[in-house]
């Protein structure tokens, strides 16, 4: 990388928007584990079966289907918060609902008699978290030009992964000493810095949608625009590629916590290695990913990241053969989290380039939803797969699931006329 490119990259990291995206990323990362892997540990400790844990994890599908209500976020302003602007208004509303949801989970607790209410409240919390993610993604794309999206994705990822540390290791530490209710109440209060960043941020000068257009036409418009831009064949191939790209990573998510427990590690061990050390490794991978996009372009970065994520899943097999051995745990988390961090930033930068800023929230929500959908669907039944095949069979399956993605990437590189994978 040339000195000129390095200086431009450094300027991008120093801009005020990068600091705002760091705080917003923290707010997005904090609740993600609390409605997923961290919650699964709480459920497992309460005596819930792996199959039931997988079914409860379907509440995380709000993160997948967020594109369904994203057009409303593009079209209207948040009631009572119009003075903040369209993006910041919806963001503040989502953050307030998210804090209330986490606080409600803490107060309710895992009482068997109130499990239905707990799951409904969990779904509301996941909805609020997914809405926050949708608005932050739109804000990031609209606040800066395309050539700065890689660095903004990296600073967002840094904040996001620190949020993961707090929502993962932090929650486990608090739960270990003071219980799960105190842990979730603490996490709700720790969203305040992200809320403050929303109030202090400047509203992006985004293209205003046509408000007089009928609602149904407005909701369909972003999808029609995407297919017009790329053509049906290339558009479908791009959507399929995005949908399959994170499959090896996503299908592991919900059972990672139970796997660590079943291989003989305590909550403190999981917090130290997976939720603390591992997140910093993921942060390093994210910054390497930002440099890779700047130096190599999208195609080579996506290729390296996809192969790395698939190979890192094989490390879980090594860990399964060495239960309770710390070196295997550390090695597995090192490879898995670094490759995830690298691949995450690369994919975000790539998807940002596919987005039409007239429909930022909707189109990016669709792309990010597709990036999670296949893995979430398989993840919901992953407990039953493990019970049938064992952990080794499941991890082997997750690794080879990258093959269709690699074939699509090669085809897109050869056939794309839009320039999205020209480099």
The reply to whether 360 falls in a domain is: yes
Reading the block at residue 367, the tokens are 């792309």
pLDDT in tens, 49-63: 777 777 777 787 888
Q: What is the mean pLDDT of residues 17-27?
A: 86
pLDDT in tens, 374-399: 766 776 677 777 778 888 888 888 88
The reply to whether 423 falls in a domain is: no
* Contact between 170 and 33 (Cβ < 8 Å): no
Overall residue count recorded for the chain in this entry: 423
* Contact between 149 and 140 (Cβ < 8 Å): yes
pLDDT in tens, 358-377: 777 788 888 887 787 776 67
Query: Among the listed ranges 31-45, 130-144, 196-210, 294-308, which one has the minimum average pLDDT value?
Result: 196-210
Least Cα distance to 322 among 392, 266, 370 occurs for 392
- pLDDT attached to residue 92: 94
Q: What is the mean pLDDT of residues 273-294?
A: 83
Contacts of 40 (CB under 8 A, 6+ apart): 53, 56, 57, 254, 255, 257, 258
Confidence of residue 422 (pLDDT cuts 50, 70, 90): low
Other C-beta atoms lying within 10 Å of the C-beta of residue 415: 12
Q: What is the mean pLDDT of residues 158-170?
A: 85
Domain span holding position 315? 6-415
- pLDDT attached to residue 52: 72
Q: What is the mean pLDDT of residues 305-309?
A: 91
* Contact between 380 and 55 (Cβ < 8 Å): yes
Reading the block at residue 113, the tokens are 């008699």
Packing angle, helices 192-200 and 86-108, rounded to 10: 170
Sign of the dihedral through C-alpha 84, 349, 68, 29: negative
The reply to whether 1 falls in a domain is: no
Q: Please check the confidence at residue 236 and state whether its pLDDT lies above 70.
A: yes
The reply to whether 152 falls in a domain is: yes
The reply to whether 420 falls in a domain is: no
Q: Please check the confidence at residue 294 and state whether its pLDDT lies above 80.
A: no
Burial of 68 (0-12, 13-18, 19+ CB in 10 A): middle
Where residue 77 falls (left for φ over 0; alpha for ψ -120 to 50; beta otherwise) is beta
* Contact between 209 and 218 (Cβ < 8 Å): yes
Q: Write down the pTM of the prediction.
A: 0.70
Reading the block at residue 347, the tokens are 């994919």
Q: What is the mean pLDDT of residues 144-161?
A: 74
Q: What is the mean pLDDT of residues 264-281?
A: 82
Query: Among the listed ranges 91-95, 147-151, 266-270, 395-399, which one has the minimum average pLDDT value?
Result: 147-151
Separation between Cα atoms, residue 344 and residue 341, nearest integer Å: 5
Higher pLDDT, 87 or 416: 87
Contacts of 113 (CB under 8 A, 6+ apart): none
* Contact between 265 and 329 (Cβ < 8 Å): yes
Query: Among the listed ranges 140-144, 181-185, 259-263, 285-289, which one has the minimum average pLDDT value?
Result: 140-144
Other C-beta atoms lying within 10 Å of the C-beta of residue 295: 14
Confidence of residue 268 (pLDDT cuts 50, 70, 90): confident
Packing angle, helices 192-200 and 16-34, rounded to 10: 150
Least Cα distance to 383 among 30, 8, 22, 50 occurs for 50
Give the whole-number percent of the chain exceeding pLDDT 90: 19
- pLDDT attached to residue 192: 94
Separation between Cα atoms, residue 240 and residue 386, nearest integer Å: 26
- pLDDT attached to residue 210: 45
Separation between Cα atoms, residue 46 and residue 406, nearest integer Å: 40
Q: Please check the confidence at residue 339 and state whether its pLDDT lies above 60.
A: yes
Higher pLDDT, 112 or 176: 176
Separation between Cα atoms, residue 234 and residue 242, nearest integer Å: 12
- pLDDT attached to residue 10: 53
- pLDDT attached to residue 58: 77
Reading the block at residue 37, the tokens are 């892997």
- Supply the mean pLDDT for the chain: 82
Highest average pLDDT, of 26-35, 36-45, 73-82, comes from 26-35
Where residue 419 falls (left for φ over 0; alpha for ψ -120 to 50; beta otherwise) is left
Separation between Cα atoms, residue 287 and residue 76, nearest integer Å: 35
- pLDDT attached to residue 293: 79
Separation between Cα atoms, residue 18 and residue 54, nearest integer Å: 36
Separation between Cα atoms, residue 48 and residue 322, nearest integer Å: 25
CATH of the domain at 338: 1.20.1250.20
- pLDDT attached to residue 4: 56
Tokens 């209207």 sit on residue? 76
The reply to whether 421 falls in a domain is: no
- pLDDT attached to residue 65: 82
Render 263-320 in DSSP notation, one character per residue: TT--HHHHIIIIIIIHHHHHHHHHHHHHHHHHHH-HHHHHHHHHHHHHHHHTHHHHHH
Reading the block at residue 167, the tokens are 């929502």
Highest average pLDDT, of 138-142, 156-160, 190-194, 280-284, comes from 190-194
Confidence of residue 9 (pLDDT cuts 50, 70, 90): low
Tokens 């928007």 sit on residue? 17
* Contact between 390 and 297 (Cβ < 8 Å): no
The reply to whether 86 falls in a domain is: yes
Total structural domains in the chain?
1
DSSP code of 39?
A: H
Q: Please check the confidence at residue 403 and state whether its pLDDT lies above 60.
A: yes
The reply to whether 347 falls in a domain is: yes
- pLDDT attached to residue 407: 92
Q: What is the mean pLDDT of residues 151-167?
A: 82
Q: What is the mean pLDDT of residues 336-353?
A: 88
* Contact between 241 and 405 (Cβ < 8 Å): yes
């Amino acid at each position: 990388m040339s000195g000129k490119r390095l200086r431009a990259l450094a300027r991008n990291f120093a801009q005020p928007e990068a600091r705002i995206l760091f705080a917003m990323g923290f707010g997005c990362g904090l609740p993600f584990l609390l409605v997923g892997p961290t919650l699964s540990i709480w459920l497992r400790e309460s005596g819930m079966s792996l199959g039931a844990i997988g079914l409860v994890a379907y509440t995380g599908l709000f993160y997948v289907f967020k594109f369904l209500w994203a057009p409303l976020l593009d079209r209207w302003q948040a009631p009572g918060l119009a003075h903040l602007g369209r993006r910041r208004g919806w963001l503040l509303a989502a953050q307030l609902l998210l804090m209330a949801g986490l606080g409600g989970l803490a107060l309710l607790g895992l009482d068997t008699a109130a499990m239905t209410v707990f799951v409904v409240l969990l779904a509301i919390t996941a909805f609020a978290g997914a809405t926050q993610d949708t608005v932050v993604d739109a804000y990031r794309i609209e606040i800066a030009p395309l050539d700065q999206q890689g660095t903004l994705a990296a600073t967002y990822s840094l904040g996001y992964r620190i949020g993961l540390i707090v929502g993962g290791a932090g929650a486990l530490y608090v739960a270990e000493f003071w219980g799960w209710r105190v842990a979730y109440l603490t996490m709700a209060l720790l969203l305040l810095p992200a809320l403050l960043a929303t109030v202090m941020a400047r509203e992006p000068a985004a293209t205003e949608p046509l408000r007089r257009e009928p609602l149904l036409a407005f909701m369909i418009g972003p999808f029609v625009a995407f297919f017009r831009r790329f053509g049906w064949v290339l558009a479908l191939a791009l959507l399929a590629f995005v949908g399959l790209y994170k499959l090896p990573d996503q299908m592991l998510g919900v059972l990672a916590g139970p796997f660590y427990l079943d291989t003989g590690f305590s909550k403190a061990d999981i917090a130290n290695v997976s939720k603390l050390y591992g997140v910093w490794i993921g942060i390093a991978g994210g910054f390497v990913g930002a440099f890779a996009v700047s130096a190599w372009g999208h195609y080579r970065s996506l290729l390296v990241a996809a192969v790395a994520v698939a190979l890192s899943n094989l490390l879980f097999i090594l860990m399964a053969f060495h239960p309770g051995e710390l070196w295997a745990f550390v090695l597995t988390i090192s490879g898995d989290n670094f490759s995830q961090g690298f691949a995450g930033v690369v994919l975000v930068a790539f998807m940002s380039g596919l987005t039409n800023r007239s429909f930022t929230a909707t189109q990016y929500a669709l792309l990010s939803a597709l990036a999670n959908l296949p893995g979430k669907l398989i993840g919901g039944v992953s407990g039953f797969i493990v019970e049938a095949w064992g952990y080794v069979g499941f991890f082997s399956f997750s690794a080879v699931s990258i093959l269709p993605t690699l074939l699509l990437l090669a085809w897109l590189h050869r056939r794309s006329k839009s320039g999205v994978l020209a480099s």
